[in-house]
Amino acid sequence: MNVISLSISLLIVLLILRGVIQGSQKPLHESGRKLLIPILYISTCLFELFDPALVLTSGRILGSLAMGAVLSIPLILVTSFERRSDGYMYYEKNITLYLLIIVIFFIRYLDLLFMTDIDSKTMGFLNNLVALSYIGIWRIASYLKFQHAKSRPLSMKIDLLSKTD
């Protein structure tokens, strides 16, 4: 198992968790562009493509991208944003989101443990490609959800509450 790859993956998970937790406590920037920054963090793994020791096949690459796409689905479903009474946008507090991020990290870790027929450099790269795939898809979808939530007026929630009284 590639310890460096695992350490980088753990660091990325911690940064994502920190960002989501802070996003539910302090307002997100009005443009929402900071939601896309984690894609830049993990995209640095693509520099590994210049390593001649990697043994890549189109099947391995497509499999990693597909696994990442599947892992992004639950993250997309539970990520949502809200405009609070102060007028700023926040992540909606959701314990499920935090747990999903941790579960996905452990799925990727188990993948490293059980895939023994691939050399460690290639496995590390493919694991990072899975991360790039699910983080990229999830963050782009989050950005779109953010823009949609931002465009909804705050008064909608207030109007709905007043109609039920």
Which residues, in sequence order, are CB contacts of 29 under 8 Å at separation 6+?
none
**Among 41, 20, 144, CA closest to 90:** 20
Q: Which two tokens stand for residue 27?
A: 């307002």
Spatial separation of the C-alpha atoms in residues 56 and 49, rounded to whole Å: 9
Domain residue limits, the chain: 3-164
Tens place of pLDDT per residue across the chain (165 aa): 557 767 777 887 788 788 778 777 888 887 888 888 888 888 888 888 888 888 888 998 999 999 999 999 999 999 998 888 888 888 888 889 889 888 888 887 787 777 777 887 888 788 888 889 998 999 999 999 999 988 876 655 444 454 554
The 3-state DSSP class for residue 143 equals helix
